[in-house]
Structure 1
């Protein structure tokens, strides 16, 4: 029986943590790929040697060559420059656009039936680039964004109430950046609406902290950015695809009319299964929430235009 194969492009902190999570979950053999010679090979060997201790027997290979990624079922793209203190997600666009374009193009060439999960920032922009570079249908190109942002929102609510985070259910929509939209009206603790348990003033503070969730970690680390929670969120998505779990997850998907938006990658709840993005869930939003989503969408559109212009100047956009 053929074992599933998952490639992780980018062997930095996020990529290595994703590879570890995939192996622990027993989701398949893993290829860790990075253009820096020796980096992926060293981390893969370290991971491989943890197998007898952790109890998994899947193979993990490190490589600097795309040919070793051939016939992957899922390709996770984490490659790119990490955000530094004082750097916005939009500041990352020019550098990471070229990196993600090449990664997606090569992934599609070697694994034409794969799903591509984008983790590189600015996330929604990189999803759009991966779609264009790969030539894949939109249901097989999507991004990890809302799972992470929603996990942060859920964590802060759980901390406030002193309850288990897994019993907090909440969605964050919109772009994976400063204009994200945590939905208080759709946040529940057990079956109780969160605004019945936390005062509005405190909820507004939690919403703002959620929006700054990534920047807060960057400021504490001084160098680098978050990787444990992004990796765990990515592994959950890969598991839903490979095991056809059909989880409803907030993620960056290609919209074609949903929420009044078209030709854009945007964070909304979607059913994720063996066929990728199988359908999107359209929530009933009020005027204020819709206005916030539209502001977020405009930010993404400007960033996509900047990325497109940069890639065109380098002669790679088609």
Structure 2
């Protein structure tokens, strides 16, 4: 049985993600972490969850804390903390501010829960995954981000609707940046096991409209309702289930790539990865020429942003870290 900690549990995405993962039979404890001053809110969430679990018949312990030391013993730490993206704001505009939040959190995770897996959700997720990897000191396979997993699901839904088939019949992927330079892999897209380009209707598929819809989906949801919640929350839950169930599914997440994709790598970016209890393992793939060119451009865009962010972080004596965690003799969270 496993313990899952949600860092940023007082935010909309963190709160729903905590609830979404609660259906996983492998979990015995969900820990909600929030910053100091949010104790009452955290307590309220835990009480509300407990009522819900009692009604549903779910036997999961819910704890809460404002002390990062309490994440010790976590199997997965889901990080949603940070400043959310506002209407019209590019994900990369968020990079430095959120990196100053993520760096000390990652350092603490690496110290108190070194055998855990970090699932990064904070945007820009590819950059934040790199920051978490560096500052945690953990193995590359232990640190991965939500990346283009949700983008791939959004494209999958559009294709299923267009061809009037069940969504489970569509297999497709988007790799690269979780952002404007994302790369759809039409060469690897199938419907009912048939390569999409072999279907006559593909000639009339509004490809560019679909990709633009995927790129702007999050922004449109933010514009209309203030934040994206349910899509990211369920996507997080599916990844948590894949890890804890040791399922060895191949999903598209932000992972550190070396040379698995045409020798292009050295960054954390969206790629197909085999995911199990040990983490995320990028899969070696071959792409069409146009996809290689687009993927290379996406990698270089992320690399440039990472270099800028890392340089700024390293120029500071210490990123804006929380107060040094003191030992808690009772070993209890503030539930």
Q: Calculate the TM-score normalised by the size of structure 1.
A: 0.93
SS at match of 2:275: strand
Provide structure 1 residue ranges, at least 5 long, that are not aligned to the other structure: none
What is the CA–CA distance in structure 2 between the aligned matches of 1:293 and 1:257, rounded to whole Å?
13
What is the CA–CA distance in structure 1 between the aligned matches of 2:255 and 2:21, rounded to whole Å?
22
- Name the residue aligned to 2:282: 280
What is the CA–CA distance in structure 1 between the aligned matches of 2:143 and 2:232, rounded to whole Å?
17
Matches within 5 A, 1:186-197: 186-195=188-197, 196=199, 197=201
Q: CA RMSD in A?
A: 1.6
Where relative contact order (Cα < 8 A, 6+ residues apart) is larger, the structure is 2
Q: Do structure 1's residue 23 and structure 2's residue 22 form an aligned pair?
A: yes
- Name the residue aligned to 1:148: 150
- Name the residue aligned to 1:217: 221
Q: Do structure 1's residue 34 and structure 2's residue 34 form an aligned pair?
A: yes
What is the CA–CA distance in structure 2 between the aligned matches of 1:165 and 1:211, rounded to whole Å?
20
Matches within 5 A, 1:1-318: 3-11=1-9, 12-28=11-27, 29-36=29-36, 37-38=38-39, 39-195=41-197, 196=199, 197-200=201-204, 202-221=206-225, 223=226, 225-259=227-261, 260-277=263-280, 279-316=281-318
SS at match of 1:234: helix
Asked if structure 1 preserves the Cα contact closer than 8 Å seen for 2:260 and 2:285, the reply is no
The 10-residue stretch of structure 1 (103-112 or 187-196) with the greater mean CA deviation from structure 2: 187-196
Q: CA deviation at 1:192?
A: 2.6
What is the CA–CA distance in structure 2 between the aligned matches of 1:171 and 1:252, rounded to whole Å?
13
Instruction: For residues 114-152 of structure 1, give each alpha carbon's deviation from its aligned partner in whole angstroms, at most 9, with x where no partner exists.
Output: 111111100010000001110001010111112211101
Instruction: For residues 31-71 of structure 1, give each alpha carbon's deviation from its aligned partner in whole angstroms, at most 9, with x where no partner exists.
Output: 01011522333222211211011221101112211122111
What is the CA–CA distance in structure 1 between the aligned matches of 2:52 and 2:298, rounded to whole Å?
42
What is the CA–CA distance in structure 2 between the aligned matches of 1:214 and 1:105, rounded to whole Å?
29
Asked if structure 2 preserves the Cα contact closer than 8 Å seen for 1:154 and 1:169, the reply is yes
Q: Which of these two proteins has the greater Rg computed from alpha carbons?
A: 2
The 10-residue stretch of structure 1 (8-17 or 60-69) with the greater mean CA deviation from structure 2: 60-69
Q: CA deviation at 1:258?
A: 2.0
Asked if structure 1 preserves the Cα contact closer than 8 Å seen for 2:187 and 2:288, the reply is no
Q: CA deviation at 1:201?
A: 5.2
What is the CA–CA distance in structure 2 between the aligned matches of 1:32 and 1:22, rounded to whole Å?
12
Q: CA deviation at 1:249?
A: 0.6
Runs of 4+ in 1 over 4 A off after TM superposition: none
What is the CA–CA distance in structure 2 between the aligned matches of 1:9 and 1:257, rounded to whole Å?
31
SS at match of 2:274: strand
- Name the residue aligned to 2:329: none
